[in-house]
């Protein structure tokens, strides 16, 4: 049985044509699925009955099953979706005054292994399929529309900042991005879809050619020695290569700058010297300044990281130092704190989490205090 969430419009057209249907039939079907959120073919009233019957026999619109949903006091919503074999992925909805962003996962776990990230700590299980990536958006958008009693768009922005390294799953990512951008799909403009990467330089070109969305690069360190430790893929694609690739991507990017993310880790990457080194790296580059803005993310600790969040004063001073040098700098507000929905806190392996809990329980047989996650 084919899952129709696995296709971008071109893919669906090919599939429909192979079943003897004209192109416009595929467009109709794609609109029913993604624009109206309908997965039941019998409700697709303007499709001919024989075609609906044929669809019911050979295809389905199969969402992910929801393991849990948590609503934060600040309006943030986190879904935990079952992806089989005891694995789960997380998707986070973040409403703000002028937009509503969905943070989407691309892999179960992650192979990059950044030591400050709980997804990295968990290791890599597998890539998500296009259907599993798109199902996160499909579910969130249409569930929220139904709850709000509206047919208007709810989610205005998508960021590929959930679990996983999107550029290590290009095959599934690209059709998912196409469906997000397609006017017959979610119709999001390129500047409202952001791919965040640890710096898989070899894929920048392919992204630029196939789906030139906004790019955010997780920098986290101003020099190779520190970045090798914090973002281990730096050993393969060091800073000089990364910055050259960023510059090249800008020719295709929806805006004339890109975003560098910088996770603020106390005593690790947050000194005045680090800020100055960052300024030198991007502004006093031999090839000229790299057009960029900085987004500082206060570190969200998790038990195994052994690292601490920089103090609010340190983050502020660091931001001011960058701003004074002429770099546009924002500090990310932490959202969904009460439901563990913040960056780097997404932990998907349900079995493993249970095991961790059990280990903790076994380690403290005589102390029945509540387990803190």
The catalytic residues are: 90, 343
- Shortest Cβ distance from residue 122 to ligand SAH (Å)? 11
Contact 102, 194 (CB under 8 A): no
Contacts of 139 (CB under 8 A, 6+ apart): 63, 64, 66, 79, 81, 91
Q: Kindly state whether residue 113 participates in binding ligand SF4, applying the rule CB under 6 A.
A: yes
Binding mask 75-114 for ligand SAH (x = CB under 6 A): -----------------------------------x----
**The entry of ligand SF4, ligand SAH, none that residue 299 binds, CB within 5 to 8 Å by partner kind:** ligand SAH
**The entry of ligand SF4, ligand SAH, none that residue 157 binds, CB within 5 to 8 Å by partner kind:** none
Q: How far apart are CA 154 and CA 129, in angstroms?
A: 24
**The entry of ligand SF4, ligand SAH, none that residue 327 binds, CB within 5 to 8 Å by partner kind:** none
- Shortest Cβ distance from residue 166 to ligand SAH (Å)? 6
Contacts of 45 (CB under 8 A, 6+ apart): none
Q: Kindly state whether residue 117 participates in binding ligand SF4, applying the rule CB under 6 A.
A: yes
The angle formed by the CA atoms of residues 317, 323 and 325, to the nearest 5 degrees, is 110
Q: Kindly state whether residue 269 participates in binding ligand SAH, applying the rule CB under 6 A.
A: no
Instruction: Quote the DSSP letter at residue 35.
Output: I
How many CB atoms are closer than 10 A to CB 337?
15
Q: Kindly state whether residue 199 participates in binding ligand SF4, applying the rule CB under 6 A.
A: no
Residue 309: strand, helix, or coil: strand
Q: List the structure tokens of 93.
A: 């909805």
Residues paired with residue 81 on neighbouring β-strands, in sequence order: 66, 89
Q: How far apart are CA 373 and CA 356, in angstroms?
A: 10
Q: What's the chain's Rg over C-alpha atoms?
A: 22
Q: Kindly state whether residue 299 participates in binding ligand SAH, applying the rule CB under 6 A.
A: yes
Position among 21, 87, 105, 119 found at the interface with ligand SF4 (CB under 6 A)? 119
Q: Kindly state whether residue 215 participates in binding ligand SAH, applying the rule CB under 6 A.
A: no
3-state secondary structure 190-221: HHHEEEEECCCHHHHHHHHHHCCCEEEEECCC
Stretch that binds ligand SF4, among 114-122, 151-159, 221-229, 363-371 (CB under 6 A): 114-122
Q: List the structure tokens of 371.
A: 């387990």
- Shortest Cβ distance from residue 106 to ligand SAH (Å)? 8
**The entry of ligand SAH, ligand SF4, none that residue 161 binds, CB within 5 to 8 Å by partner kind:** ligand SAH
What part of residues 226-245 is at the interface with ligand SF4 (CB under 6 A)?
A: none
* Residues found near ligand SAH in the complex (CB under 6 A): 110, 116-117, 161, 165, 196-198, 218, 261, 263, 297, 299-300, 343-344
């Amino acid at each position: 049985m084919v899952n129709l969430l696995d296709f971008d419009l071109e893919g669906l057209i090919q599939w429909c044509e192979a079943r003897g249907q004209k192109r416009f039939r595929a467009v109709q079907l794609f609109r029913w699925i993604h624009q109206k959120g309908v997965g039941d073919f019998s409700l697709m009233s303007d499709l001919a009955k024989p075609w609906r019957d044929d669809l019911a026999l050979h295809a389905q619109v199969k969402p992910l099953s929801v393991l849990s949903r948590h609503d934060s006091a600040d309006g943030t919503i986190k879904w935990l979706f079952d992806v089989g074999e005891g694995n789960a992925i997380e998707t986070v909805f973040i409403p703000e005054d002028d937009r509503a962003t969905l943070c989407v996962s691309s892999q179960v776990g992650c192979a990059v292994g950044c030591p400050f990230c709980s997804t990295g700590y968990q290791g890599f299980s597998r890539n998500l399929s296009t259907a599993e990536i798109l199902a996160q958006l499909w579910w969130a958008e249409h569930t929220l529309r139904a709850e709000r009693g509206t047919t208007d768009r709810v989610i205005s922005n998508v960021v590929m900042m959930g679990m996983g390294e999107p550029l290590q799953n290009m095959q599934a990512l690209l059709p998912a991005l196409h469906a997000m951008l397609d006017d017959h799909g979610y119709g999001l403009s390129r500047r409202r879809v952001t791919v965040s990467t640890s710096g898989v330089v070899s894929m920048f070109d392919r992204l630029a050619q196939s789906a030139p969305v906004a790019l955010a690069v997780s920098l986290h360190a101003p020099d190779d020695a520190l970045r090798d430790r914090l973002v281990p893929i730096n050993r393969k694609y060091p800073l000089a290569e990364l910055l050259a690739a960023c510059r090249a991507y800008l020719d295709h990017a929806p805006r004339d700058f890109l975003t560098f993310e910088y996770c603020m880790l106390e005593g690790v990457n947050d000194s005045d010297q680090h800020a100055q080194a960052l300024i030198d790296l991007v502004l006093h580059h031999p090839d000229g300044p790299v057009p960029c803005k900085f987004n500082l993310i206060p570190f969200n600790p998790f038990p195994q990281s052994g690292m601490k969040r920089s103090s609010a004063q340190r983050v502020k001073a660091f931001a001011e130092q960058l701003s004074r040098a002429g770099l546009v700098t924002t500090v990310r507000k932490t959202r969904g704190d009460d439901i563990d929905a913040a960056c780097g806190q997404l932990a998907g392996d349900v079995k493993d989490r249970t095991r961790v809990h059990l280990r903790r329980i076994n380690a403290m047989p005589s102390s029945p205090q509540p387990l803190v996650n």
